[in-house]
A and B are shown apart, each in its own frame.
Chain A
Amino acid sequence: MNVLEDAHRTTAPDHARHPTAAIGHRLRQPLSAAAWPAAVAAAALLLPLFTSPYWIQVLTAAAVFSVAALGLSVLYGRVGLISLGQIAMLAVGGWTAERLGQTGALPFWLVLLATGVVTGLIGIVIGLPALRLSGLYLALITLMLAAAVTIVLTNTNFPNGGPGFLGYDPVKSGTVPLARPAVAAGDTAYFRYTVVVCVLMFLLAIAHTRGRPGRAWAAIRQSEHAAVAAGINVTLYKLWAFALACFMTGVAGALLAASAGGLTVYQFPPQESITLLAALLMAGMYHFAGAVVAGLMLKAMPALLDTWGVSGNVLLIVFGVGLVQTLVTSPEGIAGQMSRDLARLGARVGMRRTTS
């Protein structure tokens, strides 16, 4: 019933398709799963030593968007549920965080957590109809929900310290970012803080896919009927996936709210969710590293193109072509190909060693 049933064309990683393989994989390489996020984190934390404050800000946004991509990657790549409303959920997370934060009563980490819980609950509410919908209809519903949320946010605006439930003062102008934690007041410190939180989100996702939920998702993705027959609580695990994806996206929204500049509704147009899907498909839907690449493609690539003097519209065209291209030919994306190439390289090196 879902995309990956079309198994002879899509080549998802084996451990994702066969639950048992996932277990085997885990037993063989217990540390490998956490290894690459740790490596990315280490690199990212050292990065400020080598780059300019400008790139620090750009990469902070990229880190946030990689978590939004991660949410989609969990939903679509693991469970086969597509959501075209991830960017709207990011906006809802940003709104919630600003509203919670403007009272000044909660410490920053608690704002992050509370925002995640709120969006996670919203995710469950969205997930309920999703139990009865699948594939195409779910995608359309989430796209329309995203468009509707955008219109509501246009009318409510992001909180700027005003009174009432909406926390918006129409006369006050200027964007008001969420107050940062004391330990991460500067841009560089905040970048490091963001990277740490993002890595935690990736570890959370990896822990899920390596554990019982991951096996259940893989079974559901393969065949819902078989999953039911195997005694898997499909309802629970589908809702769990929605809650997890929306929790992570909400936390990302909260991180975005405190990054430089504050929030406006115009940065979350519904088509951005389509761009996110395109970037993630190109980068690799079935490997979490693909989410990192997608974040970079969405936020760092435009900055890079800009320094080269290339119009941002070119990127939109590239994303469009890439989306079609990936759907037609290589559903694994860049990250999938890269990891396979690396594996082959490793195998060759290993072979040479044994022969010599």
Chain B
Amino acid sequence: MKTNGNRPHRSTSTRVLTVAACAALLALLATGCASTGTDAAAASSAKPSKASKCGLGNGKTATGPAIKLGAIVSDTPGLSFTDVTDMANAYFSCVNANGGIIGRPVKLVVEKDALDPQLTASLATKLIDTEKIVGFTASSSVLDCSVNAKTYEKKAVYGIDAGLALDCFNSPAIAPVNVGASYSALATAQYLLDKGAKKLVVFTSNTPGSNAINASIKELGKKAGVPVTAWVENVPVADANGLALKAAQAAGAGGGVVVNLNAGEALKVFKAIEQQGLIDQAIWGCPAGCNDQSMLQQLGSAWDGKLGVNAEMNLASSPGPDNQLYLQLRRKYAPKTQLGNFGQLGFTAARIAVQALLSIKSGDYTTATVGAAFKGVKDYRSDLYCKPWYFGTQTFHTANNTTRTITPKSGQWTQTQDCSEMPALPNNNFAKIRAYEKQIGLG
């Protein structure tokens, strides 16, 4: 007490100092660095169709006890996927204002995780045991599948998610609406081959499973008779210039490079490539993580037409009715989300979940009935997809296996390659998946 009592003014002023410094900073910078894209920027040449409806579309507000769905989403500096859950929530809000699930509202309980497996595991427990959710929708977490997939399988809680790790695509309980970093990298490599790359170079951020991604691209190279150089790169990248140079040297003349890093890290590398005048030395590609509006704004005109980015969904400027609904809901409920891919994925996951919930006629929404309804989704069609989406009964799921490639052009993403099939290789499941699709009549 003595120490404190003698100098109360000091402790107070220290606190005042820090608080004042923070406040000044916040006030100065409240707006952040880059502005989010507006719909106006997404205006397309084609005449947009009328937006689709939300759920029942009857304009009646849903009442009564909510049907609870859950989501775990990563939100950590440099790796934030909250756009996915924010847009899923936007769609649920619209559904709840339009008759809900036969009168009952849907509630998405969103838990944010970081890169801590104990946290991710405890959040799954919280959602399943405490919140009593009946299924997962629009989860988009770096660790969720690696840590929790076995729990979901054991407890028979099903999810329609936006998967990141390969584990999300190899679980009977999870059907991702997206392609995922791994297969997206493979699709990007295929695009580079289609563009005539004489050699493939790939570097993948060093996380568990990154070697598997590199191995699949090596297999692709073997099939196409093209040499492949692959390595894993520690993130955060501390010397992007050196990495860019190394990649360009490895590619040699006419080679293609897959920059398989998340958007923030990839941007550092692209800036380094630009700075050193290496853009034209190779063909550059990036998986779906780069399909990001803030990335597009930072890239600048030097990259116009020079970078192929794998796109899991149709362009945000496309005229289809589902995309129009997405744009409308983003404007109304989630204007702070980035325009494009991640929001579209959350929107799509929520839309599929609602379609599944509406198919339950008993009015009884439990883990079992909702799980069965999720698994029963067989022919979800949307203008955001190349092909219909289904949940499927297999132990591995990649219904979204035909993707586009986009490239920046005067401040817009534009399509550079239309829907193309993910290459089937000995070390992936696409041959089996396509056979299954034929079997259920979607082939």
Contacts and interface: CB of A to CB of B under 8 A. Distances in A.
Interface of A: 9, 11, 52-54, 57-58, 60-61, 151, 154-155, 157-158, 160, 170-171, 173-175, 187, 256, 259-264, 266-267, 299, 302-303, 306, 312, 317, 320-321, 324-325, 328-332, 337, 340
Interface string B95-124: 000000000000000011011111111110
B212 A154 contact: no
A260 B7 contact: no
Contacts of B120: 261
A330 B210 CA distance: 47
B126 interface: yes
Contacts of B2: 11
Contact of A262 (B7, B122, B147, B166): B147
Nearest to B129: A53
A193 to B, nearest CB: 15
Given A173-B146, A325-B11, A187 B209 contact: no
A261 B10 contact: no
B109 to A, nearest CB: 12
B122 A264 contact: no
Given A173-B167, A329-B3, A52 B209 contact: no
Contact of A320 (B3, B18, B215): B18
A187 to B, nearest CB: 7
Interface string B190-213: 000000000000000011111110
A256 B118 contact: yes
A329 B121 CA distance: 39
A65 B18 CA distance: 27
A320 B126 CA distance: 29
A6 to B, nearest CB: 12
Contacts of B210: 170
Contacts of B1: 337, 340
A328 B14 contact: yes
Contact of B112 (A60, A170, A306, A331): A306
Interface in B119-142: 119-123, 125-126, 129-130
Contacts of A260: 117-118, 121-122, 125, 147
Interface size, B (range) = 35 or more
B129 A52 contact: yes
A58 B426 CA distance: 42
A171 B130 contact: no
A167 to B, nearest CB: 13
Contacts of B31: none
Interface in B208-226: 208-212, 215
B117 A263 contact: yes
B147 A261 contact: yes
Closest 5 CB pairs of A and B: A261-B117, A170-B211, A260-B121, A261-B121, A57-B122
Given A154-B234, A262-B117, A267-B116, A324 B212 contact: no
Given A260-B122, A267-B116, A299-B118, 8 more contacts: A54-B122, A157-B208, A170-B210, A187-B125, A260-B125, A321-B15, A324-B14, A325-B14
B258 interface: no
A320 B15 CA distance: 11
Given A58-B122, A320-B18, A53 B114 contact: no
Contacts of A331: 3
A325 B19 CA distance: 12
26 contacts: A11-B2, A11-B3, A53-B126, A54-B123, A54-B130, A154-B234, A155-B206, A157-B208, A173-B146, A173-B208, A187-B125, A256-B118, A260-B121, A261-B116, A261-B119, A261-B120, A261-B122, A262-B146, A264-B115, A267-B115, A317-B18, A321-B14, A328-B10, A330-B4, A332-B3, A340-B1
B186 interface: no
A170 B7 contact: no
Given A170-B212, A260-B118, A267-B117, A329 B11 contact: yes
A259 B215 CA distance: 31
B258 to A, nearest CB: 18
Contacts of B15: 321, 325
Interface of B: 1-4, 7, 10-11, 14-15, 18-19, 22, 111-112, 114-123, 125-126, 129-130, 143, 145-150, 165-167, 170, 206-212, 215, 234
B425 to A, nearest CB: 14
A36 to B, nearest CB: 21
Contacts, number: 130
Contact of B143 (A175, A187, A256): A175
B118 to A, nearest CB: 5
Given A53-B130, A260-B122, A174 B149 contact: yes
A89 B397 CA distance: 39
A57 B120 CA distance: 10
Contact of B125 (A54, A175, A256, A267): A54
B210 to A, nearest CB: 8
Contacts of A306: 111-112
Contacts of A262: 117, 146-147
Given A154-B234, A264-B115, A175 B147 contact: yes
B125 A321 contact: no
Contacts of A312: 114
B165 A57 contact: no
Contacts of B126: 52-54
A341 B118 CA distance: 35
Contacts of B206: 154-155
Contacts of A9: 3
Contacts of A151: 234
Contacts of A54: 122-123, 125-126, 129-130
Nearest to B169: A173
B125 A264 contact: no
B40 to A, nearest CB: 31
Contacts of A340: 1
B234 A174 contact: no
A175 B146 CA distance: 6
Nearest to A314: B22
Nearest to A264: B117
A267 B146 CA distance: 14
Contacts of B149: 174
B143 A264 contact: yes
A299 B114 CA distance: 13
A262 B206 CA distance: 17
Contacts of B117: 175, 260-264, 267
A278 to B, nearest CB: 13
A181 B14 CA distance: 49
B112 A324 contact: no
Which of B117, B149, B215: most chain A Cβ within 10 A? B117
A173 B166 contact: yes
B114 A330 contact: no
